[in-house]
Structure 1
Amino acid sequence: MTALRQSAIMELEKIPEDKLSFVIQIMQGVNGLYDDSNREKKAAFARLEKLRKKGTVVDDTAELASYREEKYGK
């Protein structure tokens, strides 16, 4: 156990029983914020993956030439 964890536990032991529920709520809120941020990042990444174009272009040079032909008629 790290020194920081030991210090936190010592502080928790000083808190009266009737106040522990507040501390527990705060701790759960902090853990919830951490978990939610990971979930949000994963959900955002999944949305981006859905929007990403799936390319079927095999020959980039030929595609560029066709765009030029279409735009400039050359």
Structure 2
Amino acid sequence: MTALRRSAILELEKIPEDKLSFVIQIMQGVNGLYNDTDKEREEAFERLEQLRKKGTVTDDKAELASYREEKYGR
């Protein structure tokens, strides 16, 4: 066991029982960051792509003018 790990265990022993759940959540979060796989990342990207609104605007200037007309009446 490394000195750093031993030090971490000693610090954990000092933490009151009612606070340990917070420490465990932090540790699980850190573990999740290091155990992140490319597959999970790709699946998340695919979900985002499905949620993304597909645009059908072909004339940006006409659409902008339409919004301005609608909002400002000009």
Normalised by the size of structure 2, how large is the TM-score?
Answer: 0.50
Structure 1 portions without partners, runs of 5+: 1-32
Following TM superposition, the consecutive aligned residue runs of length 4 or more in structure 1 with deviations greater than 4 angstroms are none
Q: Displacement, 1:39?
A: 1.2
Structure 2 portions without partners, runs of 5+: 1-34
Q: Look up the match of 1:55.
A: 55
* Structure with more relative contact order (C-alpha pairs < 8 Å, separation 6 or more): 1
Aligned length: 40
Q: Look up the match of 1:39.
A: 39
Counterpart of 1:56, as a letter, is T
C-alpha offsets along residues 30-68 of structure 1, whole Å, 9 cap, x if unaligned?
Answer: xxx4xx611110111101110111111000000000000
Residues 9-20 of structure 1: pairs in structure 2 closer than 5 A: none
In structure 2, how many angstroms separate the alpha carbons of the residues matched to 1:51 and 1:63?
23
Structure with greater proportional helix content: 1
